[in-house]
Amino acid sequence: MTELPSDCQRLQLVDGRELLLVGTAHVSQESVDLVRRLIAEENPDRVCVELDEGRYQSLVHQKRWESLNIYKVIKQGQGPFLLANLALASFQKRMGLHTGVKPGAELAAAAQDAEERGIAVSLIDREIRTTLLRAWRKTGWWKRLSLISTLFASLFEDQKMSEEELARLRESDTLSAMLDEMATMLPSVKRILVDERDLYMAHQLTLAQGEKILAVVGAAHLGGMLKQLPTPLDEATFAEISTLPEKTFASKLVPWLIPTVVLGLFAVGFAAGDYERLTDAAVAWVLTNGLLSALGTIIALGHPLTVLTAFIAAPITSLNPTIGAGFVTGLVQALIAAPTVRDLEQVGDDLANLKGWWSNRVMRVLLVFFFSSLGSAIGTFVAFHWLKDLF
C-alpha cells in the first residue's frame, strides 16, 4: 500500500468502499507531483476534484477569455458575478506568480491524468455562482460592504513575501486561507464560502461511483470534510446548501422604497405649488446622482462619452429599481471602447497586476460598471438626505 503524506487520509465509506482524500496547495508544484504519483500508484476507479464545471473549463481551456462577450455579460446582469470572480482569481493569480505554479494546477493535473488513463472524473464542488450568491443574500447590508471592500482591497495589496511566507503559501490552500482570515469579521461569509462547501463536497464523495475513489481538494478543506465523512448528509441539509436562498423582504422592498419616497416628495412639492423648492430638489437630485456616478466612471477610466452617459443616466436609473446606472454605463463602455483580441487573450495575465485591471478593456468595462453604480448609490443617499431637508 502506498505510503501517504500527512495531508492525505485513507478511509472507508459506510458501504465499505475505499476513499483516498488528498489535501493539496493550489499553487504548489509538490502538490501537482503528488496527485500524479498517487493516481499512477493507486489506480483508482474514479478521481474527484474540488472544481465545478465553470472552474474546470477555465483551467482546461486556457483561451476561454477569447470567446467572452462582455456586452452579453453586462446585458444579462452577470457583471457583479464576473467581477467578484475575477477579484478572487486575481488574488490566486498573484500568489501563483510567487510560487511559479498556476493556481489549481494540481486539480487540472488530476483530471487530465485520470482522463488519459481512462479513469472516470467527478467535479464535486458547488457551482461558484451559487456559492457567491448565497454569501451575498445571507449577509447583511453593512457586512456586504465589508465583503466588497475585502475583495477589492486585495487588488491593492503589496504582494511581496518573505521566504517563510512563501513556504507557508506552498503548504496551504491560498483562497481558503484568505477566506479564513475573514472569519472574525464576517463569520457568515466564511461559513458559506468554506464550511458549506466542505459539507457539499463530502456529501458528493459519498455518492461517487467506484470501489476505490481518489479525491483531490485544497488542504484547508480536509478538516471540515473529515468531520462529515464517511456519513452522507441528510437530504434536507444537502438541498438547503445547494440552492439559492430567497431574497429577504427588506432586500425586495428597499430598491422600491427610496424611489417611491423621492417621487412622493416631488409630488408633495408640486401639489403645494412651491416650484422654487421643487426646482432646487430636482437640481440636487440630478447633480448628486449624476456627478458621483460620473466621478466613479472617471475613476474607472471610462470613455468621455461613458462619463457623460453616467451623468445623464444615474438620476433616472436611481428612480427605477429594475435597472442600474452600471448597466447603462457598462453597455456604453463596451460599445464605444470594445475589447480587442489582445484584451481577450490577455485577461488571464492582466489579472495579476493592478495596472492590468485598468488597461485591459474587458476589465475596464467591469470597473466602469462597478464604480458608476457605486457613485450612483452614494449619490442617491446623499440626495435623499438633502431632499428631506428641503421638504
Give the C-alpha separation, 356 to 11, whole Å: 45
pLDDT at residue 115, rounded to an integer:
92
With 60 as the cut, is the pLDDT of residue 112 above it? yes
Q: Is the pLDDT of residue 17 over 80?
A: yes
Count helices and strands (H / E) in the chain: 20, 5
Cβ neighbors of 198 (< 8 A, separation 6 or more) are: 221, 223, 224, 225, 227, 228
Please, which pLDDT band fits residue 133 given cuts at 50, 70 and 90?
confident
Q: Which of 151-160, 187-196, 286-295, 322-331 holds the top average pLDDT?
A: 286-295
Report the distance separating Cα 274 and Cα 333, nearest Å: 39
Cα–Cα distance, 199 to 238 (Å, whole number): 8
Tens digit of each residue's pLDDT (9 = 90 or more) over 22-73: 988 766 788 888 999 999 999 999 999 999 888 888 777 655 555 566 767 7
User: What is the model's pLDDT at position 307?
Assistant: 96
The residues facing 122 across adjacent strands are 48
Compute the mean pLDDT over every residue in the chain, rounded to the nearest whole number: 79
What pLDDT was estimated at residue 40? 93
- Looking at residue 200, what is its pLDDT? 95
Instruction: Give the confidence band of 144 by pLDDT, cuts at 50, 70, 90.
Output: low
User: Over 50: is that where the pLDDT of 219 sits?
Assistant: yes
pLDDT at 58: 73
Is pLDDT above 50 for 118? yes
| pTM of the predicted structure, to 2 decimals | 0.71
Question: How many Cα atoms within 13 Å fall on the side-chain side of residue 34?
Answer: 28
Question: Cell 461558484 maps to which residue?
Answer: 128
Indicate the pLDDT class of residue 164, thresholds 50, 70 and 90.
low
Mean pLDDT of 147-170: 54
Using the predicted structure, report yes or no on whether residue 203 has a pLDDT greater than 60: yes
**CB contact set of 193 (below 8 Å; sequence gap of 6+):** 131, 135, 179
How far is residue 74's CA from residue 337's CA, in Å, rounded to a whole number? 14
Residue 163 has pLDDT above 50, yes or no: no
Q: Print burial letters for 331-341: b (CB count within 10 Å at least 16), e (below 16).
A: bbbbeebebee
Q: Tell me how far CA of residue 383 lies from CA of 262, 276, 291, 323, 371, in angstroms.
A: 9, 17, 11, 19, 18
pLDDT of residue 90: 62
DSSP code for 64: G
Cell 442600474: give the residue: 324
SS3 386: helix
338 or 328, greater pLDDT: 328
Average pLDDT rounded to a whole number, residues 289-297? 95
- The whole-angstrom separation of Cα 312 and Cα 104 is 43
pLDDT of res. 1: 59
Window from 22-31, 103-112, 136-145, 226-235 with minimum mean pLDDT: 136-145
